[in-house]
Every structure is written in C-alpha cells, then in structure tokens.
Amino acid sequence: ALVAVTTSPINQLIPLACELYKRYGIFDYNRLFGISTVDCVRANNFAAEVVGLEPECLIVPVIGGCCPRTRVPLFSQAKPCNQFTH
C-alpha cells in the first residue's frame, strides 16, 4: 500500500512514520510520501493576487519542506510565466 501524509507537520510526521514502519519491519521508502498541496495553493493565491489573475490560472512550484523556514516557492518558474514587479 502507498501511504500519503497530508497533515501538518509533514516534516515531523514522515520521519515518525518511517521509524514506526522500520520497527515493525514493513518500511519501504518508495511507498511513504508527504503531500504539500496546501503550500502550492498558498503560493498560487499570492502570485495571482500580485499579477491580477485568478489563482487557478497559475501554477507556482514549491520546493523544500513544509515549514516556513524550508519552503521555497519558485515564482520565477510560475506557469504561465509572468513578470513580478513592484
């Protein structure tokens, strides 16, 4: 089975789940992953507000972790590409 962790704090729950699965001898790193769609939705909303588009018209990739210190929205890679100015 695939296991998707979708609740915060993903950065802490994934390692916890890994350790539990290892303890019971069922760990497979190809079947456990975190879903951080909420971070992409937030980035899409922010970027859309800046450029005056609807959020569903943009896709802003987000890399890193799921906490503010490690999350990095890649506005330069947004689709459709828009120039962000002040």
Domain limits at 31? 1-35
The per-residue pLDDT for 83 is: 63
Residue 82 predicted with pLDDT over 80: no
% the chain with pLDDT above 90: 52
Q: CB neighbours of 39 closer than 8 A, spacing ≥ 6?
A: 62, 66, 71, 73
pTM for the structure as a whole: 0.65
42 and 75, same domain (yes or no): yes
Of 18, 13, 58, which Cα lies nearest the Cα of 40?
58
11 and 27, same domain (yes or no): yes
84 and 45, same domain (yes or no): yes
pLDDT digits (tens, 9 = 90+) for 38-64: 888 999 999 999 999 899 889 999 998
